[in-house]
Amino acid sequence: MSGQRGPRAAGAEIVRRFVELHGRRVSYLTAGDSGPTILLIHGSGVSARSWVNQLRGLVGAVRVVAIDLPGHGESDPMRHASVEQYGGIVANFSTHWAPVRSSLRDTHWAARSPSRSRPSDPTR
């Protein structure tokens, strides 16, 4: 089940859509309809709207999707949310954009935690 609504942005249409994952409504913004898909994930205390300039700027080159994590933006809340639970939501959400080819760039936590500033070894 998904829905959509949204205003036209300057030079690009940004559309808010919804998808239901495990009984929870998850909101996301999307722009563009061709090329590879880039998934943008906001940090704590903000929402998908923090990516509006990137959504506008990348349209035409790629399809851009910005998720509202549970309890943020227009997504339903999650009781006792944790980083692991957010990761599960993102993993489930990303299956809607198959085939998934991902590259994770962690700009939020790397700035706060030196132990997370280096990418982990993908062979572990």
Number of domains the chain is built from:
1
Query: For the chain, how far is it from start to end, CA to CA, in angstroms?
Result: 36
Residue given tokens 């500033």 in the structure block = 117
Answer whether residue 121 is part of any domain: no
Q: Is residue 80 very low, low, confident or very high in pLDDT (cuts 50, 70, 90)?
A: confident
Answer whether residue 123 is part of any domain: no
Residue 118 confidence (pLDDT) above 50 = no
Answer whether residue 89 is part of any domain: yes
The domain spanning residue 70 has which CATH number? Answer: 3.40.50.1820
Answer whether residue 124 is part of any domain: no
Answer whether residue 122 is part of any domain: no
Beta-bridge partners for 8:
13
Range of the domain at 11: 2-116
**pLDDT tens sequence across 10-36:** 456 999 999 998 889 999 999 998 888
Residue 70, judged by CB atoms within 10 A of its CB (0-12, 13-18, 19+), counts as buried
pLDDT at 97: 63
pLDDT at 31: 94
pTM value is: 0.71
Answer whether residue 41 is part of any domain: yes
Higher pLDDT, 51 or 104: 51
Answer whether residue 44 is part of any domain: yes
